[in-house]
Amino acid sequence: MSFFRGRRLRRTESLRNLVRETELRPQDLIHPFFVLEDDDLQTRKPIASMPGQSQLGLGALVDDVHRAWDQGLRALMLFGIPKHKDERGSQAYAREGIVQQAVTRIKETVPEMLVITDVCLCEYTSHGHCGLIAEGMVQNDPTLELLAQTALSHVQAGADMVAPSDMMDGRVQAIRQTLDAEGFCDRPIMSYAVKYASAFYGPFREAAQSAPSFGDRKTYQMDPANALEGLREAEADVQEGADMLMVKPALPYLDVLRRLRERYDLPLAAYHVSGEYALIKAAGEKGWIDERQVALESLTSIKRAGATCILTYFAREAVEWVG
Ligand code: PBG
């Protein structure tokens, strides 16, 4: 017999464990949280399209972060939902904005939790776009200063890392310059470098109340059909000083993630987004798939494709599954 006997190395569980190439570790996972500015600090508003996830008042958030730490979670990403929105998204960079308060509270309570903040205006603007609007268009350059101020206010509150998700050109450079000038040369930037204009963000926009009130995000987020363009975006962010690069969404773009892995030596993040989570949850609830197994297979695949770390709404559960 002269054919390949691949089954030899799959004969027993110990053997399969021995030759496993990819291991999902608790410290690979980053859980996104939504903090809601509300008079009731203990408020919990479940997000219908993301079962298991809620908008949390400040107190409820701190409780959940504390519990997640005890479960083994070591990193989180924060999104804010402000009480007031305006044309310029001023609550995004307000010193006492909801994210700034949340960072402070988390750092007081669970100081070792790695706190990453999403830097964007869309949750804070009345029009729901990620940048300033003039003549019906999202304005790139005037937005940069606001993004830099947002990032600065987050690190001043104690954020360990900032993650710009707006897809304006030049934002990594603008943020880096501002952080450095203000004495925060030690805080890294995780750039949402390759972010697609994806329908998979649907549930998130309900969760963060950030759907654009007119038009769409196609003049700043990328065309799902393009991979080479993603490489150009990544290169620009590397040149501008990004410390980590992100691909988003994750599963539909594993090819892009793999190409970035081969080309760059920076750590890579992948964002398993709200729609990817919702699909698994919905099919799991119907009993059509094994939710836990599908979630773990998805996250392992993202890691196998080249992700150093993964943002996922399954993180809290997954740290226990793999811990
Ligand atoms: C903000 C932002 C979005 C997501 C992360 N940051 C939404 C968007 O760009 O419309 C999506 C995350 C998810 O779907 O889980 N710009």
Per-residue H/E/C for 210-234: CCCCCCCCCCCCECCCCCHHHHHHH
Mean pLDDT value across the chain: 97
> pLDDT value at position 278?
98
Give residue 169's pLDDT band: very low, low, confident or very high (50, 70, 90): very high
Report the alpha-carbon distance of residue 96 to residue 308 in Å, rounded: 33
Report the alpha-carbon distance of residue 230 to residue 216 in Å, rounded: 19
| Smallest CA separation from ligand 1 atom 8, residue | 201
Average pLDDT over residues 194-222: 94
Pocket test for ligand 1, best of 117, 120, 166, 298 (most atoms within 8 A of CB): 120
Tokens representing residue 313 in the block:
């709404």
Give residue 287's pLDDT band: very low, low, confident or very high (50, 70, 90): very high
pLDDT per residue over 17-38, tens digit each?
A: 999 999 999 999 999 999 999 9
Query: Is 195 annotated as catalytic?
Result: yes
Which of 85, 107, 195, 281 is the catalytic position?
195
The listed CATH number (3.20.20.70, 3.40.190.10, 3.40.50.150, 1.20.1440.230) that belongs to domain 22-322: 3.20.20.70
Number of Cβ within a 10 Å radius of residue 15:
12
> pLDDT value at position 323?
87
Please state the domain extents for the chain.
Answer: 22-322
The ligand 1 atom nearest the CA atom of 313: 15
pTM of the model: 0.97
> pLDDT value at position 161?
98
